[in-house]
Amino acid sequence: MTEISRMASKALLVAATLPSALAWGPLGHETVALVATEFVLPETRAFFQEVLGDNSSTDYLAAVASWADDWKKTDEGAFSYNYHFIDALDEPPTSCNVDLERDCGESGCVVSALANYTTHLVQSELNREEREIAAKLVIHFAGDIGQPLHCENLARGGNDIAVTFDGEATNLHSVWDYNIPEAITNGSTRADAHAWAADLITAIRAGPYRCKTRNWVAGLRVDDIEDVALRWARESNEDVCTVVMPEGAEVLEVGDLGGEYAEGAKGTVKLQIAKQGYRLAKLLDAIAQAQ
Ligand SMILES: *[C@@H]1O[C@H](CO)[C@@H](O)[C@H](O)[C@H]1NC(C)=O
Ligand SMILES: *[C@@H]1O[C@H](CO)[C@@H](O)[C@H](O)[C@H]1NC(C)=O
Ligand SMILES: *[C@@H]1O[C@H](CO)[C@@H](O)[C@H](O)[C@H]1NC(C)=O
Ligand SMILES: [Zn+2]
């Protein structure tokens, strides 16, 4: 092989072995952040505007919400790759569960990473740049942990389950990261995230989520954050059995998921985004208050 074709085939190999999608897309992360922005205390806002070096009142969290997905692709951030998910070794749809010991491992996972960077932000031994990174990671991981397929090992979190959505070939993980959120908002821009967040904020303040928020953040404390994050991961993982693939993965590989399947999943996606946004607000409050 020539050097060029060797490089080309190596690039292909790398492309083929890397999961094609690894997080709620920017839309999902930005919406989580915008919901959180609405519910943080004024002193929390001031604290994180300072940590993030951004005095915008509306977008200081949303602007950095998906930064971690770019950072993990750099040499500097590559070590954080496993921190975006937890590979629950359960057996959906028969049995869903997360076992921290079994599923997180020494390389770390979204549960241990969310706890780790929260703790770092509370103990203020970090320098300016490290604090900013820790804040961006907490904002991001609070979103990832709410995506059911980030809390599942099967077929690499659904990346290896080939499906069709509105006539386009894709995979189940991407459907949950991108297609369903974009079907909810009819777009993927920051403006779409603002519109979606406004709907979710209304549902939290005066709609169907209103009576649930107390439960969402029950027991949320920074000194118990790993247990809290584990509970969040377990809720997401439970959705894998009940909503993502209640009849197993094979049935999803035939037909198109853009119709009935997406309609059936939208409620869960909205709930997960709203819930994680509200939880992120309370987590950021707790971090700011612990300073
Ligand atoms: C944000 O506002 C604070 C307080 O007014 C100011 O000290 C700081 O320089 C501002 N930061 C940026 C990035 O504009
Ligand atoms: C915890 O944070 C430190 C950086 O402060 C990092 O080196 C380490 O990889 C992190 N571990 C996990 C599991 O997040
Ligand atoms: C998206 O489009 C659908 C169908 O055209 C419509 O029912 C829905 O209200 C739109 N959603 C938003 C958030 O604009
Ligand atoms: Zn991610």
- Identify the residue whose C-alpha is closest to ligand 2 atom 12: 113
In angstroms, what CA-CA distances link 207 with 120, 191, 271? 36, 22, 12
**Which of residues 55 and 25 earns the better pLDDT score?**
55
Predicted local distance difference test score (pLDDT) of residue 125: 85
Angle (deg, nearest 10), helices 128-144 and 110-122: 140
Quick check: bond before 42 cis, omega within 30?
A: no
Cα separation of 219 and 271, whole Å? 19
CA 171–ligand 1 middle distance (angstroms): 44
Assess whether the C-beta atom of 112 lies below 6 angstroms from ligand 2.
yes
Report the residue among 166, 186, 192, 202 best suited for mutation to probe ligand 3: largest number of ligand atoms under 8 A from its CB.
186
Q: What is the mean pLDDT of residues 154-183?
A: 97
CA 237–ligand 3 middle distance (angstroms): 28
* Average pLDDT over the chain, rounded to an integer: 92
Predicted local distance difference test score (pLDDT) of residue 23: 65
Percent of the chain exceeding pLDDT 70 equals 92
Cα separation of 91 and 94, whole Å? 6
Q: Where in the chain are the domains?
A: 3-289
Predicted local distance difference test score (pLDDT) of residue 21: 46
Q: What is the mean pLDDT of residues 126-144?
A: 97
Predicted local distance difference test score (pLDDT) of residue 223: 94
Predicted local distance difference test score (pLDDT) of residue 6: 37
Residue 73 per-residue DSSP state: T
HEC sequence for 223-256: HHHHHHHHHHHHHHHHHHHHHHCCCCCHHHHCCC
pLDDT interval class at 24 (50, 70, 90): confident
Comparing 3-7, 124-128, 254-258, the range with the smallest average pLDDT is 3-7
Segments in 18-99 forming alpha helices (H): 26-39, 42-52, 67-71
Question: Among all ligands shown, which has an atom nearest to the Cα of 113?
Answer: 2
CATH superfamily, domain 3-289, is P1 Nuclease (1.10.575.10)
Which long-range contacts does 207-211 make (Cβ < 8 Å, 24+ apart)? 209/271, 209/274, 209/275, 209/278
Predicted local distance difference test score (pLDDT) of residue 105: 84
pLDDT tens digits, one per residue of 58-94? 999 999 999 999 999 999 999 999 999 999 999 999 9
User: Whose CA is closest to 49, among 35, 60, 64, 36?
Assistant: 60
Which atom from ligand 1 is nearest to the alpha carbon of 55? 1
Q: What is the mean pLDDT of residues 132-151?
A: 98
Question: Among all ligands shown, which has an atom nearest to the Cα of 132?
Answer: 2
CA 29–ligand 1 middle distance (angstroms): 25
- Please tell me whether the overall predicted TM-score, pTM, comes out greater than 0.95 for this model: no
| Cβ 140 vs Cβ 149: under 8 Å | no
Identify any residues that bridge with 163 across adjacent strands, giving them in sequence order.
170
Assess whether the C-beta atom of 276 lies below 6 angstroms from ligand 2.
no
Residue 95 per-residue DSSP state: B
User: Whose CA is closest to 212, among 179, 196, 229, 235?
Assistant: 235
pLDDT tens digits, one per residue of 228-281? 999 999 999 999 999 999 999 999 999 999 999 999 999 999 999 999 999 999
- Identify the residue whose C-alpha is closest to ligand 3 atom 11: 185
Element holding 220 (H helix, E strand):
none
